[in-house]
Amino acid sequence: MIFVGEGALLRRAVTHAATHGHPVDLVCSADSLDATAADAPHLAAADINAHAGTLARACTDGIVWSLNNRQIFREPLLRIDGLRILNIHNGLLPRHRGLPSVAVLFALLHGDTEYGATVHEVEAGIDTGPVVAERRFPVGPEDRYHQVMLRGIRACHALFEQILPAVAAGTAHPARAAAAEPSAYYGLRALDRLGAYRDHPAYARATDLGPFAAHAHELTRALLRLSSPASAPGGSPAPGALRRPADAGAATRLVCGADGTG
C-alpha cells in the first residue's frame, strides 16, 4: 500500500495499517516522520504525478490511499494498470465536493442536517469517482464549524479502519456512482460568496473555526477581511468567530498529531 497526504489523519492511517499487518510500501508526504511508525520509505513530492513510475514500482498490492491530500491525481498516474487509488474525503459525496474546510462552512450555512466521511475511487474529476462507503453523523441546529470539522476528521479515520480489511482483500466494491445524488463543489472561489451570508442566522456558528483557524489559512484570511471594521455594515465588526472552543486540544491533536500518535 502507498499513502499520499499529510497531517495526523495520514499518520494515524499509516500506523493503523502497519500495526494490523498490511504492507506499507511508501508514504508520500511533506514530513518524513509520517513513515516512521511503519518503517517505510518516504517520498516528499510537490507533484505526486511526476512520480508515477516510482509509485507503480513501489506498490506491492496495487492500493494507493489518499488521506488529507490536496494534490490532484492526473495522468499518467491514473492510467497505471493494476493501481487502485482510494480517497478518504471529509464530507458526503457528491454533496460536499472540494475543500472540506470550505464545505463544512457552507454545509452549516445551507442548513445541512448531516455530514460525514466518504471513501471513493479516484478518477480524473475532483471527488467524482464511485463511492465505496460512507459514514454519516447528524448535524444539530446549534453545532458550530469546529465541532462538525472535528467529527468529520474522526469519521474519516473510523471509515478508513472500517474499510481497510475489505480493500486489502479485494472485496470492497463501489456502492454507487458519486453522480447519483445532487452535487456541489466548494473550492476557494466559493469564499468570494461569503459576504452575502453575513446576516445569515447561522453565520456565527458556521464561521466559528476554533483551533482550525490555524490550519484553514485561506478561510481564516477571508473571514478576517469580512470582520474588519471597514467591511462591516455601519463600520462595526461582522459576526463570526475564530474563537477557541473547549475541545480545542482534541481538535489540535487530530489535525496536527500533537498527542504523539497522529
pLDDT at 216: 87
Report whether pLDDT(242) > 70.
no
Strands 26-28 and 2-5: parallel
Average pLDDT in the 80-91 region?
96
Task: Indicate the average pLDDT of the chain.
Answer: 89
- Copy the grid coordinates of residue 235: 463600520
Distance CA 112, CA 167 (A): 30
Report whether pLDDT(201) > 90.
yes
- Of the pLDDT bands very low, low, confident and very high (cuts 50, 70, 90), residue 228 is confident
Q: Give the position of cell 471513493.
A: 120
- Of the pLDDT bands very low, low, confident and very high (cuts 50, 70, 90), residue 260 is very low
Query: Who wins on pLDDT, 241 or 142?
Result: 142
Percent of the chain surpassing pLDDT 70: 86
pLDDT at 176: 75
Q: Give the position of cell 506491492.
A: 60
pLDDT in tens, 9-30: 999 999 999 999 999 999 999 9
* Beta strand ranges found along the chain (DSSP E): 2-5, 26-28, 42-43, 63-67, 84-90, 97-98, 114-121, 131-138, 185-186
pLDDT in tens, 143-164: 999 999 999 999 999 999 999 9
pLDDT at 257: 39
pLDDT at 231: 54
Average pLDDT in the 162-176 region?
95
CA angle 36, 41, 47 (to 5 degrees): 110
Percent of the chain surpassing pLDDT 90: 81
Report whether pLDDT(171) > 80.
yes
CA dist 23 → 3, 13, 67, 159 (Å): 11, 12, 17, 19
